[in-house]
Amino acid sequence: MAGLFISFEGIDGSGKSTQAKLLANAMERAGHDVVLTREPGGSAGAEEIRSLVLEGDPDRWSAETELLLFTAARRDHLERLIMPALAEGKIVITDRFADSTRIYQGTRSGDLRQMVDQLHDLVIGHEPDLTFLIDMDPDIGLSRAKGRGGTEERFEDFGADLQHKMRAGFLNLAQQYPDRFRVIDGTRDIDTVAAEVLRIAYEAVKNRKSNA
């Protein structure tokens, strides 16, 4: 049986990691075979690229080089982890996937969006079955993300204006791909969000069974 590929998307600090983990735990408890992963990263090679791209001087890479690094990381993640797990019928839950590149790289340099799409078609060519967009006002997301600390401040440091653009970009993508996107109000408390996410994920599991 083919697996199920679920992604979480949204601006920094919206609660993606929290919700991805809760969903993975709940599905595991229900007896499903689950792989929880994240981007950039998720495989050994991609995790190395993650530190190259998220740490250090923000001007270290040109926008084009950065896009290539994110895409190279995704290709490795897909080859080594995601595709093999799906082929074994597992549920793969990833914290960010290609929609993040469409929005982050595509929004920061508007003229890059075409290159983002071309590269995706050329070397990735896969979309999740289900994408949760955890949506919220960026001012809330930013203060949550800042509270978390750590050394990967690079993208969060771009500030509120950019995050507002990202939010609008994600909502646009959700309209563009209504079949796989579900927009979730991330301003509610963690358990309320998790319950809605779990209900929708189980619907997808049921549909997968009836389509199999």
Give pairs for 25-31: CB < 8 Å, separation 24+. 26/194, 26/198, 27/91, 27/93, 27/198, 27/201
With CB under 5 to 8 Å by kind, the binding choice for 54 among ligand TYD, ligand ADP, none is ligand TYD
Q: Give 88 or 177: the residue with its C-beta nearer to ligand TYD.
A: 177
With CB under 5 to 8 Å by kind, the binding choice for 101 among ligand TYD, ligand ADP, none is ligand TYD
Q: Looking at residues 80 to 139 of the shown chain, list those that interact with ligand ADP (rule: CB under 6 A).
A: none
Among 3, 15, 42, 128, binds ligand ADP (CB under 6 A): 15
The site for ligand TYD (CB under 6 A) is made up of: 12-13, 16-17, 39-40, 54, 70, 95-96, 100-101, 104-105, 145, 155-156
- Is-contact 180 127, C-beta < 8 A? yes
Task: Give the total residue count for the chain.
Answer: 212
Separation in Å, CA 186 to CA 33, 60, 109, 138, 163: 26, 33, 27, 11, 15
- Applying CB under 6 A, the residues found at the interface with ligand ADP are 10, 12-18, 144-145, 147-148, 189-190, 193
